[in-house]
Amino acid sequence: MATPISPDSEQPIVIHPEIQGEVDIDVPVSELPLPPDIWPSTRGPIVTMARPAVSPAPPEFTATESKRAFGLDALRGLFLVTMTLGFTIGSDIFPAWMYHRQMPPPDYGVVDLPGISWRDLAYGAFLFTMAAALPLTLSRRISKGETELGIVFGAIRRYFMLLVFALLIGHSNTYLTGYTQTTRVVSIVGFVVMALIFTRRRSDWNVERHQMLNRAGWLLAIAFLAITPLLYGKSFSFNRFDDVITGLAFASLAGSVIWYLTRDNLTARVGVLGVAVALYLGARSEGWVQDWWWSSPVSWAFQPSWFTLLTIVIPGTIAGDMVLRWMRSTDSGAVPLAWTRGRVATVAALATALTPIAVVGLYNRAVQLTTQVSVALILAGVILTWRPSSSTERMLRSLFVWGGMWLVLGLFLEPFENGIRKVPDTLSYFFTMAGLTTMLLVALTALVEVLDHRKWVAPLIDVGTNPLLMYVLFTILINSALELIPPMRDVLQASPGEAILRSVIQVTLVVLVVRYFTRKQIYWRT
């Protein structure tokens, strides 16, 4: 069949082969066999496997970190309740000390008044407790073998989630969207959307269903942000956000990174604090720092002026380190305390007393007296906490000393910038808040861990372990739900007494709801 092969490449070559293939095919092969099923009932590459029944949730800590910082949870809960109480005061017939110091009635506009009121404590304290929890969270992740990149990306992820949270609250809060029936319904829808996104799966919940709801929540969130503003005559805006949460987001990100990089070097962390203070001071005078400090094209996501928050975030992480060291210690609970219960109770009382003294004194501008009394109490506390022998005592002393130092720093800085202010915030405010919050942490830790009165603060602990839910409930849900029914808007608003009663009822309601969910192990998490 073949023509001769020519060595000349310019000549065509054609070589014909023999017929190939199975020439004697008898069976029609148009229907060639497909892969058979070995057992017909089990066809298909994917089979739903029976899932085991409820399993215990994985432990929160490894063996060396088996304790939980209930004092910190209680502290967070305390300030959340304080915030709720302040937020639910709707009447304008109270005395000025019931409001933010720089936003007094009747206009609630920002005025140039030095001092702080009890309502000014919550913001700084909230940041502090968040920062104090960072060492605990991050160290747990490190112990699980998370990489450096993982830690950083985890912090960025949380930052992003908090920004989304802030935008959702901003577009749900009637304070920002207007007090109409439409916006109240939108608030409630916003709450549902947030619930879908931020509710952590309980260990016995169906994984698929939870994931489905979570993803549906994200899709709904996009639709919610895009469409619902049109219902009340606006459009989506990045400038409609909850500034407390955005500040918290930045503090979380910056705090995580700073703590991670300086976890073994306290001096470096204090150095970073010095840099933050320097930037703050630089921004007080004209120049490039000031120009930069107040400029941001994405103010909802980042503002250079937020670096001020480091003055409370870094003290928070330092307190968190002390709590972490205590949690990792092995002697707690096994070694009896050298201090008597009375001594610990006195320390707790001193630490607690500092807050009302500072607030009342600074509100009434008795700055010198407040400083003198505070320093005296701090010195007394330092003496009382002398020579700690167990890890719990060491933690209480360290916290007390550091708290005293921050408070003294804040009080000494008080005359600078013409007095302490929350709006606009001053260095004195942040350091004073760091001091007072640390002192309250001392008091609550002593109460829970040494004096063994956890039950006294159990509601606060429950609230403190579920902060996001608490925050959303009091910022957007309760008021919107109540005011949706017109008669409810004016109930218990006639006198200060009635307004307080109404506020207390609302706070109680919120706390009960949060407690219920916490007890049911249903948490909102980023």
Partner 1 sequence: MPAVPEWRERVIRAVAIVAIVYAMYWIYWRWTNTINTEPGAYVASVVLILAETWAFINMCLFVMLTWRLTERVPPPAPRGRTVDVFITCFDEPLEVLRRTAMGARAIRYPHRTYVLDDGKRDEVRGMCEEFGIGYIRRVGSRNAKAGNINYALSVTSGEFILQLDADHVPLPTILDRMLGYFDDPQMAVVQAPQDFYNVDSFTHVVNDEGRRLWEENRIFFSLIQPGRDYWNASFFCGSCGILRRSALEAIGGFASQTIIEDMETTIQFHAHGFKSAYHRETLAYGLAPGSAGAYHVQRMRWGQGAMQVLRKLKPLTMRGLTLPQRVAYFAGAICYFEGWQKAIFYLMPLFFFFTGILPVAGSQEAFLIRLFPYIILCTLAFELLSRGTGYLLLSERFTMVRIWTYMLAALAIFTRKPLKFNVTPKGHSSVPRSAYMPQVVLLVLSIVAPIWATIAYSQGWISYRTQGWGSMAFWMNGLWALWNCYFALYVVRHSLRMKQQRDDHRFAEQLSVEVQLADEISAPAIPAMTMDLNPAGLGFRSTTRVEPGTRVYIELPLRPARIRTIGHVRHVKEESSRLGTVFMHGVEFLDVPIETRDVIELYCTQHSMTVWRLKYRQSIDILTRAGEVMRNLRGQRRRLAGLPAKVYLTGAGDTERVEVDAKLILEEMSESGARFVGTAPIEPGTTITFDVPGARVSGTGVVRHVQALQTSVSVLFSMGVELNTAPVASRGWLPRFGKRNNGHLISSESQNGDAHIS
178 binds partner 1 (CB under 8 A): no
Tell me which long-range contacts 368-375 makes (C-beta under 8 A, separation of at least 24): 370/411, 371/408, 371/411, 371/412, 371/414, 374/407, 374/408, 374/411, 375/408, 375/411
**Rounded CA separation 339/439 (Å):** 18
Cβ 259 to partner 1 shortest distance, Å: 17
59 binds partner 1 (CB under 8 A): no
CA atoms within 13 A on the CB side of 436: 28
Residue corresponding to tokens 């500072």: 358
Residue corresponding to tokens 């199975």: 22
45 binds partner 1 (CB under 8 A): yes
Q: Using the minimum distance from each CB to partner 1, give the nearer residue, 199 or 432.
A: 199
4 binds partner 1 (CB under 8 A): no
Cβ 399 to partner 1 shortest distance, Å: 32
295-324 residues in contact with partner 1 (CB under 8 A) are 295, 297
149-168 residues in contact with partner 1 (CB under 8 A) are 149-151, 153-154, 157, 160-161
Q: Which of 38, 63, 334, 383 binds partner 1 (CB under 8 A)?
A: 38
489 binds partner 1 (CB under 8 A): no
b/e per residue 42-69 (b: at least 16 CB within 10 A): eeeeeeeeeeeeeeeeeeeeeeebebeb
Give the sign of the dihedral formed by CA 353, CA 394, CA 275, CA 308.
negative
Q: Which of 207, 270, 338, 512 binds partner 1 (CB under 8 A)?
A: 207
Q: Using the minimum distance from each CB to partner 1, give the nearer residue, 49 or 383.
A: 49
**Rounded CA separation 416/381 (Å):** 27
**Rounded CA separation 169/243 (Å):** 10
Cβ 279 to partner 1 shortest distance, Å: 20
Residues 6+ apart with CB under 8 A from 469: 514, 517, 523, 524
18 binds partner 1 (CB under 8 A): yes
Cβ 515 to partner 1 shortest distance, Å: 24
456 - beta bridge partners?
A: none
Q: Which of 4, 107, 239, 383 binds partner 1 (CB under 8 A)?
A: 239
| Closest of 200, 248, 198, 243 to residue 220, by C-alpha | 198
Residue pair 469/523 in contact (Cβ under 8 Å)? The answer is: yes
Burial of 38 (C-beta count, 10 Å sphere; 0-12/13-18/19+)? exposed
63 binds partner 1 (CB under 8 A): no
286 binds partner 1 (CB under 8 A): no
Q: Which of 111, 192, 212, 501 binds partner 1 (CB under 8 A)?
A: 212
The DSSP output letter for 220 is H
Q: Using the minimum distance from each CB to partner 1, give the nearer residue, 61 or 456.
A: 61
Outline where DSSP puts E strands in 316-374. none
Contact code string over 379-408 relative to partner 1, x by CB under 8 A = ------------------------------
Q: Which of 12, 106, 336, 342 binds partner 1 (CB under 8 A)?
A: 12
Interacting stretch for partner 1, rule CB under 8 A, among 10-18, 83-91, 482-490, 504-512? 10-18
Residue pair 414/428 in contact (Cβ under 8 Å)? The answer is: yes
Residue pair 121/82 in contact (Cβ under 8 Å)? The answer is: yes
| Cα dist from 124 to 130, 159, 170, 312, 421, whole Å | 10, 18, 20, 7, 12
31 binds partner 1 (CB under 8 A): yes
Q: Using the minimum distance from each CB to partner 1, give the nearer residue, 21 or 106.
A: 21
Q: Which of 60, 92, 208, 452 binds partner 1 (CB under 8 A)?
A: 208
SS3 label, residue 199: strand
Q: Which of 4, 56, 106, 487 binds partner 1 (CB under 8 A)?
A: 56
Interacting stretch for partner 1, rule CB under 8 A, among 237-245, 349-357, 440-448, 461-469? 237-245
Q: Using the minimum distance from each CB to partner 1, give the nearer residue, 143 or 508.
A: 143
Q: Using the minimum distance from each CB to partner 1, give the nearer residue, 23 or 383.
A: 23
58 binds partner 1 (CB under 8 A): yes
Q: Using the minimum distance from each CB to partner 1, give the nearer residue, 212 or 491.
A: 212
Q: Which of 105, 108, 147, 379 binds partner 1 (CB under 8 A)?
A: 147
| 444 token code pair | 């609550």
93 binds partner 1 (CB under 8 A): no
The distance between the two most distant Cα atoms of the chain, rounded to a whole number of Å, is: 118
